[in-house]
Amino acid sequence: MRIALISYEYPPETGLGGIGTYTAQAACMLADRGHSVEVFAGALEKDSSELDGKVLLHRVYPGKDRHAFPSAVVLKFRERHQFQAFDIIEGPEYKSDGLSILKEFPRVPHTVKLHTPSFLIKKLFFGKVSLLRKARSVAGSLLKGKRPNPYWAYSKEKDPEYEFTRSVPYILHPSFELGGIVSREWNIPIERFIHLQNPFQPGKEFLSIGIPQKADELVRVTFLGKLERRKGIFLLLEAMPAILQKYPKVRFRFVGKSHPSPNPGMDMQAYIEAPFPIPGYPHSWPKPISVSSPVFGKTSRMFAWRPCRREGP
């Protein structure tokens, strides 16, 4: 099959997070199975095309506005589709990267890969906004002479991510909970959702990480990702007391860009590093936590292994 993957995020140049990692992994695995795969991704400086292992990678520079990518990528896609037609196109719902291509080529089969829609990210990020916070936001905008922007308000009819997702016949989701939420919030029949776990093939660097063989050896558990609510940090914090009770040699590291915590005015790094952020955490224990925030941008790219480029099939 001729498969086109549309995603602004693609490592290493625009490997900003999980969407890029998924796209790279999926592209490599599909190519290894004999499919003709082309990826249309974003660029930070200029357009380019290169062979990335078995995958033909096209980078499109949308200018300084990342939101211009869905329109900017159409030209390169049109050129490649006219050269040899694609059988199917996939893109993420986030930022609706494939929406403009879908509008120009509606007869080519499309699928959408769910990651986390922007409306859900905002909901998880801000939580339930109180009337007091709403009033303060409106008053602050008026005092600055600006038109109030009610960030808590959401209308799916004005959301290009909703427009893109509802326009395709099938939607791939990595978890049943995420698929259910999007189905309910966007009123899309659940029958159009297909469960597809995110593929991941670790590279040799990952597999070569040593594992302590003795019970008394120091064990380090590293959380790698954005330090924000939706990444499951609180579940790990809640589990830490039980882990430390049984395995006192364990040490925890959190590596990632710090985002706001549940406590107003405190970011996640400060929240994690607070004296006793964990309920039931004994005061007499040495603190088994370290946080490294500034290196996230580089570290996230280190961990976006792509076997098709470095290790072969």
For the chain, which residues make up each domain, given as ranges?
2-121+155-200, 204-300
In whole angstroms, how large is the CA radius of gyration of the chain? 22
pLDDT tens profile 195-235: 999 988 888 887 887 776 676 678 888 888 888 888 888 88
Contact predicate 3/109, CB 8 Å: no
Provide DSSP, 96-160. GTTHHHHHH-TTS-EEEE-S--HHHHHHHHH-SPPHHHHHHHHHHHHHTT-----TT---GGG-H
Classify residue 284 by burial, with Cβ atoms within 10 Å: 0-12, 13-18, 19+. Answer: exposed
Statement: 2-121+155-200 belongs to CATH 1.10.3470.10: no
pLDDT of residue 275: 56
> Which 3-state string (H, E, C) describes 50-99?
EEECCEEEEEECCCCCHHHHHHHCHHHHHHHHHHCCCCEEEEECHHHCCH
Closest CA to 20 of 51, 46, 43: 43
176 membership: H or E segment, kind and range: helix 176-185
Contact predicate 8/42, CB 8 Å: yes
Three-state SS for 291?
strand
To 10 degrees, what angle do helices 118-126 and 176-185 make? 100
Question: pLDDT tens track of the chain, all 313 residues?
Answer: 999 999 999 999 998 888 999 999 999 999 999 999 999 999 999 999 999 999 999 999 999 999 999 999 999 999 999 999 999 999 999 999 999 999 999 999 999 999 999 999 888 776 677 777 778 777 888 888 888 777 677 889 999 999 999 999 999 999 999 999 999 999 999 999 999 999 888 888 878 877 766 766 788 888 888 888 888 888 888 888 888 888 888 888 888 888 888 777 788 888 887 755 555 444 333 445 555 543 333 333 323 333 333 333 3
CB atoms inside a 10 Å sphere around CB 48: 13
